[in-house]
Amino acid sequence: MNFINAGVCAPKGFRAAGIHCGIRKNKTKRDLALIVSDKIASAAAIYTLNLVKGAPIAVTKANLVNGKAQAMICNSGNANTCNADGVEIAGKMCELTGEALGIDAKDVIVASTGVIGQPLDITPIANGMDELVSSLSYDGSAMAAEAIMTTDTKQKEFAVSFTLGGKECRMGGIAKGSGMIHPNMATMLVFITTDAAVSPELLHKALYDDAQKSFNMISIDGDTSTNDMVSVMANGMAGNEEITEENEDYETFKTALGMITEQLCRAIAKDGEGATKLVECFVSGGKDWQTAKTVAKSVVCSSLFKAAMFGADANWGRVLCAIGYSGADVDVTKIDVSFTSEKGTVDVCQNGAGIAFSEEKAKEILLCDEIKVLVDLHDGSESAVARGCDLTYDYVKINGDYRT
């Protein structure tokens, strides 16, 4: 099982494209993406837990009732959320896509991202559809990845090769996500493709289970978005025997999926709005996974801790503080904390109390752009990882005038 330099077009039978159709005022920014399978595919998706949901989520949910899809369309620049005609517009996006591709509109996954509460005009999407479809390419992943970006500073795409039943299979993914990100999904959209053959039921189970330890363990700013969606299509063109039960092939498939989602999560967290550092909290020694999960999430969600990471300040007391109010049942007198990066590791707390350490060494470690916080609860064998970033001045600047 190996990573390959590609995205959603790495698996057989997937084309993608991204164009500027006019939703965004900046003509240098692509704002409409399309991913298409050469054949109908098993499909699954998971969605935000926010009670306020973007209209595309309702339409996609209805379209995926049969567990099948053949295309994914997404616009950036407008979330199509809290609009009176939102469902109508999202449905029209599916209709336009279906007509242009010669497929059923109900076989289309639709997504939108951008400003909430502003009407989405269907005109530029309709006018751009011919260009979008004609731009489809088996090398078009990067264009699609660019077209779904909003405040992202970097494209996010990964792919992996793996074997099922002697057949080489591939899986690829692209994502957008930079702000309004909090566990239980985020203002992120993730599109995953694979040429492995998997039943819709097991595809959904694999995606749902994976998200509990991947996408639901990211936090940038504590805001759970309205439009979060992770969707996957599996077209079976690799030729493996379809996975219909939780066997060895299913476990291999889940491992490949986990490799993709982990990299996408790290990329999303590292590209948080205004962020300068990826911050990961690795919790070990939990009496159960829920405890380890709660502790890890609480640490990466702490604004005070995130600010300390921006300043490269080894303020480990903020780690203990976040654990203390997390609600997790832990013995605080057993907790050890360390900071680590490519510059080394420094132990800062043992048995819930401070220990002598070199502030100069700690500063050197925390000035790196990828930081790990190691927390050992010494109360069991379960572990969890949560991912986030530092909190900087630029976060406020970006969001102070995001709409205007």
Give the structural domain span for 143: 2-270
Q: Are residues 245 and 320 in the same domain?
A: no
Q: Are residues 253 and 380 in the same domain?
A: no
Q: Are residues 70 and 107 in the same domain?
A: yes
Of 221, 251, 270, which residue constitutes the final position of a domain? 270
Task: Please state the pTM of the whole predicted model.
Answer: 0.87
Number of domains in the chain: 2
Rounded distance between C-alpha atoms, residue 264 and residue 135, angstroms: 25
Q: Are residues 327 and 376 in the same domain?
A: yes
For residue 42, what pLDDT band results from cuts at 50, 70 and 90? very high
For residue 391, what pLDDT band results from cuts at 50, 70 and 90? confident
- The catalytic residue among 81, 97, 151, 187 is 187
Whether pLDDT at 223 is above 70: no
Q: Are residues 231 and 356 in the same domain?
A: no
Task: At 77, list the tokens.
Answer: 């620049």
Q: Are residues 94 and 215 in the same domain?
A: yes
Model pLDDT, residue 219: 76
Task: At 168, list the tokens.
Answer: 């080489």
Q: Taking residues 259-270, report their average pLDDT.
A: 91
Whether residue 187 lies in the annotated active site: yes
Helices (H) and strands (E) in the chain, counts: 11, 15
Q: What is the pLDDT of residues 298-354, one digit of tens each?
A: 999 999 999 999 999 999 999 999 999 999 999 999 999 999 999 999 999 999 999
What CATH number should be reported for the domain holding residue 71?
3.60.70.12
268 residue type, one letter: I
**What is the residue-averaged pLDDT of the chain?**
92
Strands (E), 166-323: 167-176, 189-194, 229-234, 278-286
Query: How far from chain centre, in Å, is Cα 398?
Result: 20
Q: Are residues 115 and 16 in the same domain?
A: yes
Q: Are residues 105 and 214 in the same domain?
A: yes
Of 216, 245, 270, which residue constitutes the final position of a domain? 270
Q: Are 348 and 227 in contact (CB under 8 A)?
A: no
Q: Are residues 263 and 319 in the same domain?
A: no
Of 242, 270, 298, which residue constitutes the final position of a domain? 270
Backbone angles phi, psi at 219, to 5 degrees: -150, 125
Write 397-404 long-range contacts (CB < 8 A, 24+).
397/274, 398/151, 398/179, 398/273, 398/274, 399/179, 399/273, 402/115, 402/151, 403/115
Strands of the sheet containing 278-286, edge to edge, are 353-354, 344-350, 336-341, 370-376, 278-286, 382-389
Q: Are residues 325 and 351 in the same domain?
A: yes
What CATH number should be reported for the domain holding residue 378?
3.10.20.340
Q: Are residues 110 and 87 in the same domain?
A: yes
Q: Are residues 249 and 325 in the same domain?
A: no
Q: What is the pLDDT of residues 43-84, one digit of tens each?
A: 999 998 778 888 999 999 999 999 999 999 999 999 999 999
Q: Which residues pair with 43 in a beta bridge?
A: 233
Q: What is the pLDDT of residues 97-115, one digit of tens each?
A: 999 999 999 999 999 998 8
Residue from 248, 253, 251 nearest 236 by CA: 253
Model pLDDT, residue 384: 96
Rounded distance between C-alpha atoms, residue 211 and residue 262, angstroms: 10
Q: What is the pLDDT of residues 192-210, one digit of tens each?
A: 999 999 999 999 999 999 9
